[in-house]
Amino acid sequence: MKKHLLVFLMMLTSSVGINAQLRVVENLNFGWRFYAGDVKNAEQKDFADADWRTVNVPHDFQIEQPWVAPAADEKADNSDAAANIKSRLSSRGFKEMGKGWYRLHFTPADSLKGRRLLLQFDGIIYTGDVYLNGEHIGGTNYGYVGFEIDVTDKLRLGQENVIAVMADTREPGNSRWYTGGGLFRNVRLVATGKELFFGRHALYVTTRDNKYVNVSGEFTNRTRKPAHTKVMIYAPDGKLIFEGGKTVNRHRMARTVEVALCDEVKVENPQLWDTETPNLYRAVAQLLREDGSVADQVCTTFGIRTVEIVANKGLLLNGKKVLLKGMANHHTLGALGAAAYPRAIEKRLQLMKQFGINHVRTSHNPYSREFIELCDKYGLLVVDELYDKWTKQHTGGRVDFTQLWQSDIPEWIKRDRNSPSVVMWSLGNELQQDPNQPFNDFGVTMYKLMRPLVSRYDSTRQVTVAMHPRYRNWETDSLPCNLAMITDVQAYNYRYMYFPGDGRRFPWMKFYQSEASTQAMGQNFFEMDLDKVIGLAYWGVLDYLGESMGWPAKGWSQGVFNIDLTPKPKAYYMKSFFMPDEPVVHIAFLESENAEMWNGVKMGNDRMSELWNRQAGSKANVYIYTNADEVELLLNGKSLGKKQNDVKNAKLRNQIRWGEIDYKPGTLEAVARKDGKIVARHKVETTGEAKKLTAEADKPMATKKNQNVPQWSADGMDLQHVTITAVDSKGRRVLNANQEVNFAVEGPAEIVGVINGDITSNEMTVGNKRSFYNGVCSVILRSTREAGPVTLTATAPGLKEVKLKMETK
């Protein structure tokens, strides 16, 4: 039986010149035993689990379940949701609901005697219960919010202990999207002193006038003596720029209290945080005993920046207007389901930045803490959202909503309030679509209760609720709903056309298009007064599991990126106006039109392709996305004419709908000009038959023996996304290749996901094989905690195999 020995390090505190045993955080992500389903007595310490599968956290057990097609008496989509005959599982990704059990055997060291011990869970989806040695010790009724359990008097030191966790995805109707299931975020054990210690999310850092820093902290002092505190602030380059301390003359503090640790620290030549230069400072706080030794230490990163949201101006970052050009998506990560791998999150944020996105709305629940930290790192602006609708049904389904918010709000706010990327709090979404809100007034009273609690923990940001602003009669109601009259920011989903009229009636309003349709992309951007509004967030920019418009689609397919992150042609249209200073031109072919409706909004995206291997004698309907003045189209070097970018027409700006042309094998090229000069080109070619495979890893390369070797960390958490492409004899991607690719891995890594861009595929996202879609597929590798060489081999019928050599460090 494998056991986990918790190793606690003695940390050197140079500032006091002595060794001191500080707060230690031990990762408990590895070596869990898992069973899919419910099992009687699985919480008991001596339960026989030797035959259970070993998994590592983060883990989503629901992604491993088979697809479940709609039954004969079900609709294949959500078209008749009001009549309650929609598909039972279309919203949840056509995966069956259920429970899963996790059990971890570990032996804590005797040296932990006298320490305060906490089990921390960053989330259990969708609800969860935690047991220690057979005793129920806690859990969560809303799994997106983290929690901790004090196990000081329950953990058996020097003996084997068993943590058992039961995760429950609940009933299909308890969420409107794919949630995943299980221990989808980190688990850890934290050890501190018993008498003098910081609380959970203890530090609160605020800045003023972009040069003054204030740090407060929550701590408990049970020593009956004054508490001595010290704060150190480090610049983005790691240089210590401030060190100071205080004595807090409060005795016998049996509960955690908040105390100012340093006031108005002036930072000389501050390096401001913004979207282009996301400079991060670090604050370290210590609690000192009477002899000067360190009893506890915590730290946090923060940014020096100001955020103002002003009527008729929008959002000002450091005094300058920044237009939110964003996305609103659910938290899942394609093939990985809900498992919150930091590298998978980072990959998505890097891609979004490349296409001009500077903003994310965390719809409709808190994302992982790692997500927020990566937004801090990369300079994305976040509207941090806590809930969907304020009902039992939409917040876990286990207890009434009115029992959740009093504890959820403090945990959520305190976790993220030091992050400079967070520019606004959002408490909910589209309450107007569900009349069963508390107090029967579509959220007005509930908002008035929750808003002061938000301010108790953070008074620096404005608060909103994303809403359909006209109750359920948005076509006829002339005035905004009552909730829109009291929120700090007026966040309208899709209904940007009300901004001008509502702004004239109520000039104090501050408008944010909290969801925008990708179907109406461009028009719903250019038709806003961009100088006055906060900006927008396009709904479902990334295709995702759940909220399917109809089987066989396993989820949302109206994004501008496929579920495997490959860009659809329309992604370049978005880039053309999100990044107006970077020349863009891109050819696309209209294959079919889509007029799907969703929540009363036309959401269906037309199906576009880049395929220039077509039937002889056929015609192709050409679209060209560009931010240049004009485009010339050439077929095999012969000009088909020039067309202008109609920049005065919001519906057509940056998209030239060329019309049908005759297909001829060869090369079709678009040449974009601005002020008469060529600024960009894009071409599509007729390719030959696929001949071989290529493999490309996404992690940084290191030179080894004159070869570029992809490397990633041997920490058991890092990922390597490897793209496999079918190419012809000239090395060109063959978009119509559809062979099945098999993967084999040698070395310290494992396959955790396989994916392509076809969300209608019945293939699983787990396993060791995946078919091509548009000539590509991907395999995702997770490192182990052993370093060494890794070889990935990909094979496909009739194609030359490829081997990719990598290394974990």
What would the pLDDT profile of 1-11 be if each residue is shown by its tens digit? 333 333 333 33
Residues 506, 500: Cα–Cα separation, whole Å:
10
DSSP 494: S
Is the pLDDT at 703 greater than 60? The verdict is yes
> Band of the pLDDT at 468, cuts 50, 70, 90?
confident
Q: Residue 292: is it exposed, middle or buried by C-beta count within 10 angstroms (0-12/13-18/19+)?
A: middle
Residue 61, pLDDT score: 98
DSSP 441: T
> Band of the pLDDT at 385, cuts 50, 70, 90?
very high
Task: Evaluate whether 256 touches 220 at the Cβ level (below 8 Å).
Answer: yes
Residue whose C-alpha is closest to residue 203's, from 284, 118, 293, 289: 284
Residues 570, 589: Cα–Cα separation, whole Å:
11
DSSP 66: P
> Band of the pLDDT at 257, cuts 50, 70, 90?
confident
DSSP 9: P
Residue with the bigger pLDDT between 388 and 111: it is: 388
Q: What is the CA radius of gyration of the chain?
A: 28
Is the pLDDT at 247 greater than 60? The verdict is yes
Residue 3, pLDDT score: 38
Structural tokens at position 49 = 């689990």
Residues 69, 88: Cα–Cα separation, whole Å:
10
Q: What is the mean pLDDT of residues 37-42?
A: 97
Residues 725, 712: Cα–Cα separation, whole Å:
22
Query: CB neighbours of 301 closer than 8 A, spacing ≥ 6?
Result: 280, 281, 282, 283, 373, 376, 418, 419
Residue whose C-alpha is closest to residue 258's, from 150, 149, 419, 410: 410
> Band of the pLDDT at 477, cuts 50, 70, 90?
low
Is the pLDDT at 433 greater than 90? The verdict is no
Residues 772, 173: Cα–Cα separation, whole Å:
34
Q: What is the mean pLDDT of residues 755-772?
A: 98
Residue 709, pLDDT score: 78
> Band of the pLDDT at 72, cuts 50, 70, 90?
confident
Residues 687, 732: Cα–Cα separation, whole Å:
7
Give the Å distances, CA to CA, from 409 to 199, 413, 425, 436.
16, 6, 10, 21
Task: Give the pTM.
Answer: 0.95
Query: CB neighbours of 790 closer than 8 A, spacing ≥ 6?
Result: 720, 745, 746, 747, 748, 749, 781, 805, 806, 807, 808
Torsion, CA 556, CA 562, CA 565, CA 570, rounded to 10: -110
Counts for the chain of helices (H) and strands (E), in that order: 7, 52
Beta-bridge partners for 778: 723, 755
- What values do phi and psi take at 658, rounded to 5? -65, -35
Peptide bond into 452 cis (omega under 30): no
Of 93-102, 205-214, 433-442, the poorest mean pLDDT is in: 433-442
Task: Evaluate whether 789 touches 760 at the Cβ level (below 8 Å).
Answer: no
Residue 81, pLDDT score: 45
Is the pLDDT at 652 greater than 60? The verdict is yes
Task: Evaluate whether 332 touches 544 at the Cβ level (below 8 Å).
Answer: yes
Is the pLDDT at 310 greater than 60? The verdict is yes
Q: What is the mean pLDDT of residues 267-279?
A: 98
The sign of the CA dihedral 233, 234, 239, 241 is negative
Give the Å distances, CA to CA, from 402 to 274, 411, 415.
37, 16, 21
Residue 762, pLDDT score: 98
Task: Evaluate whether 340 touches 333 at the Cβ level (below 8 Å).
Answer: yes
Strands 422-429 and 381-385: parallel
Query: CB neighbours of 254 closer than 8 A, spacing ≥ 6?
Result: 220, 222
Residue 8, pLDDT score: 33
Three-state secondary-structure class, residue 524: helix
Place of tokens 């006091």: 16
Is the pLDDT at 405 greater than 70? The verdict is yes
Residue 770, pLDDT score: 98
Q: What is the mean pLDDT of residues 298-316?
A: 98
Three-state secondary-structure class, residue 83: helix
Place of tokens 């008498």: 195
Give percent of the chain with pLDDT exceeding 70: 92
Beta-bridge partners for 325: 536
Task: Evaluate whether 661 touches 620 at the Cβ level (below 8 Å).
Answer: yes
> Band of the pLDDT at 160, cuts 50, 70, 90?
very high
Residue 595, pLDDT score: 66
Q: What is the mean pLDDT of residues 55-76?
A: 93
> Band of the pLDDT at 13, cuts 50, 70, 90?
very low
Beta-bridge partners for 205: 215
Residue with the bigger pLDDT between 581 and 13: it is: 581
> Band of the pLDDT at 21, cuts 50, 70, 90?
low
- Number of neighbouring beta carbons within 10 Å of residue 702: 13
Torsion, CA 331, CA 136, CA 119, CA 121, rounded to 10: 0
